[in-house]
Structure 1
Amino acid sequence: MDKKVIAIGALGGSGTRAVAKIVKESGVFIGDELNGPLDNLIFTRLFKNPKWNKKAAISDINFRLSVFEKYMKGEKLDFRSFYELLKVAKSNKLSPSRYNFYFNVLKRRAILEKPRDVWGWKEPNTQFYIKEVLDYFPDLKYIHVIRNGLDMAFSTNKQQLHNWHWKFNIGKDFKNKESFNQLDLWIRSTKKVIKIAQEEKYKNRILILNHTALCDNPKEEIDRIIDFCGIPLSQEKLNKLYEIPGDKGSNDRYKNYDLSIFDSEQLKFVESMGFNLNYKK
């Protein structure tokens, strides 16, 4: 297989775990530091840091991407990269580290593995670095998962809203407008991805994946993922992948809530993204 880098991002809770599992089972190494939802915790430690992001220059971001690349490809970490990763792990309060993490980093400092040509990661916060990762990794393809914006609005997972609201000029009135603001974040972040995907320099490098479609038509959507990634698989392997989406989970959660808190333009945009809504207009 040719050199490939696959990244998966979204608003937290969008169903990226199933997509990560599909990519992983297709033979793509997605990391040895993963949590239950298959988030790559090396990326989390390096980049899930709003305070750092506000001050970071593109050179700072690119350096951390170089550290991440060396770790993921199995290259030996030079001292500067080694120190940066340890420093980040200790200072990033949003991502506490266990002892085995430090062992793995030490191993990367001492051991040179056979470099990987096919690798990737899943981490929802990747969406806030789309341009940077696309520009840094010329072979990278990015999968952006979108779940029904109204289901996301009423999700209990609002960490990205609290961390990154300032990037989209969203107010901090979370107590009284949390669901409204969460939908606003979903809309603005989705529009950003669409805009970037339309740029000529990123043509054919971004796939926007509808989570409802993945659950309802797994064969069609998984074929799209595999074709987008350019991974040759046997029909037997594909048949196993088709079984992964399975449970729709919290789809249609929004039907249990009052939608009058949202404005008509918000609801229209949700529908324009392919989600059929059951509400009184």
Structure 2
Amino acid sequence: MPHAPIAVGGVGGSGTRVIANILQYCGIFIGSDLLPSNDTIWYAALFGRRNVLLDDDEELRALGELFFRQMADPTPLSPAELTRLRSLEEMPRHLHGPKIIHEWLEGFIVHCATAAPAERWGWKVPYTHVLIDRWLAWHPTLKYVHVTRNGLDMAYSQNQNQLGKWGPIFLNREVEIGPRDSLKFWCAVQRRVARIGARYPDRVLQISFDRLIRDPVPEIDVLLRFIGADLTAAQKDELASSIVPPETVNRHKAHDISALDPEDVAYARQDNAAPQTDDRT
């Protein structure tokens, strides 16, 4: 049986890069064109646009099938598939113009024409969570790793790209780029992923970045079991030693959090302290 593809996401700044590094260490292909943050450029080129949520199911599913197939077993694209990809270049994006999208798509097209099959593959793009309910429904072997980080720290992150891009959809209103709406967006994403995880308990794993940096090996063990990878104790220790806590841990303590919604603060504190349901013994 083919290995399950692994998707990685989370609110921007959650620490998804660390999980991507572990996947690569385990020999899982996440693309040959990656951003410095190890984001899979090809997924971003195909799905990193707000109007992707306006695609009808048939169109989105066809684009998803193309991506899944070409990541696992690349073959040259048909004229119709090339036309479908080219149509994405002029679609509006939050941060990127047509030129960079063209370059990203060119890389994907070259991959399709020249790359070898990947026995194990996946992708990492933080906003994967936006479409993860559909990917899980349409691809029954897919597994999803959602990286979560202390919501109060996330409220004061400099990375608010997701809030600007997806916040109006998740909160159903215009948003203000700042800590209050940042925390509201984080809470909305966490609640939604929890609901999706309840529907797919064996295929969705939430990994706490805060626990990972405090005590890496137990969290690495949980991740390895979930993705079906096996490493030696020495390899786990090597991975653990590469995980360096960022200086931004507990950054919320330098701020007056009274401007945040008290209900959101309570939820963030509860979420950060909540025990995991998987077996870490």
- Give the TM-score, by structure 1 length: 0.88
The answer for the alignment partner of 1:120 in structure 2 is 122
The answer for the alignment partner of 1:212 in structure 2 is 210
2:142–2:203 contact (8 Å) kept in structure 1:
yes
How far apart, CA to CA, are the structure 1 residues paired with 2:89 and 2:33?
A: 13
The answer for the alignment partner of 1:8 in structure 2 is 8
How far apart, CA to CA, are the structure 1 residues paired with 2:45 and 2:19?
A: 21
How far apart, CA to CA, are the structure 1 residues paired with 2:128 and 2:22?
A: 18
How far apart, CA to CA, are the structure 2 residues paired with 1:140 and 1:219?
A: 24
Shift of 1:109: 5.2
How far apart, CA to CA, are the structure 1 residues paired with 2:124 and 2:247?
A: 19
The answer for the alignment partner of 2:234 in structure 1 is 236
The answer for the alignment partner of 1:35 in structure 2 is 35
Indicate whether 1:82 and 2:82 are aligned.
yes
Shift of 1:264: 2.3
Shift of 1:246: 1.6
How far apart, CA to CA, are the structure 1 residues paired with 2:215 and 2:149?
A: 15
Kindly report which structure 2 residues correspond to 1:146-185, keeping only aligned pairs within 5 A, or say none. Answer: 146-174=148-176, 178-185=178-185
Shift of 1:8: 0.4
How far apart, CA to CA, are the structure 2 residues paired with 1:237 and 1:190?
A: 31
Please give the per-residue CA displacement for 1:194-215, whole angstroms capped at 9, x wherever unaligned: 111112xx12111111111000
Counterpart of 1:107 (choices 110, 114, 134) is: 110
Shift of 1:31: 0.5
How far apart, CA to CA, are the structure 2 residues paired with 1:104 and 1:13?
A: 26
2:49–2:92 contact (8 Å) kept in structure 1:
yes
Which of 86-95 and 13-22 deviates more? 86-95
Please give the per-residue CA displacement for 1:49-70, whole angstroms capped at 9, x wherever unaligned: 11342x2112122111112113
The answer for the alignment partner of 1:279 in structure 2 is none
**For structure 1, which runs of at least 5 residues remain unmatched after alignment?**
277-281
Shift of 1:92: 4.8
The answer for the alignment partner of 2:252 in structure 1 is 254
How far apart, CA to CA, are the structure 2 residues paired with 1:126 and 1:106?
A: 21
The answer for the alignment partner of 2:132 in structure 1 is 130
Describe the shift of the 1:70–1:222 C-alpha distance in structure 2 as closer, same or farther (beyond 3 A): same
How far apart, CA to CA, are the structure 2 residues paired with 1:102 and 1:188?
A: 31
Describe the shift of the 1:217–1:7 C-alpha distance in structure 2 as closer, same or farther (beyond 3 A): same
Indicate whether 1:45 and 2:39 are aligned.
no
The answer for the alignment partner of 2:26 in structure 1 is 26
The answer for the alignment partner of 1:141 in structure 2 is 143
Describe the shift of the 1:99–1:172 C-alpha distance in structure 2 as closer, same or farther (beyond 3 A): closer
1:149–1:187 contact (8 Å) kept in structure 2:
yes
Please give the per-residue CA displacement for 1:52-95, whole angstroms capped at 9, x wherever unaligned: 42x21121221111121133124212222222223324535444
Please give the per-residue CA displacement for 1:145-195, whole angstroms capped at 9, x wherever unaligned: 1111111111121111111123223432416xx211110010011011111
How far apart, CA to CA, are the structure 1 residues paired with 2:79 and 2:181?
A: 42
- Give the TM-score, by structure 2 length: 0.88
SS of residue matched to 1:246: coil
Matched residue count: 270
Letter in 1 for 2:128: T
Describe the shift of the 1:173–1:198 C-alpha distance in structure 2 as closer, same or farther (beyond 3 A): closer
The CA RMSD over aligned residues, in Å, is: 2.2
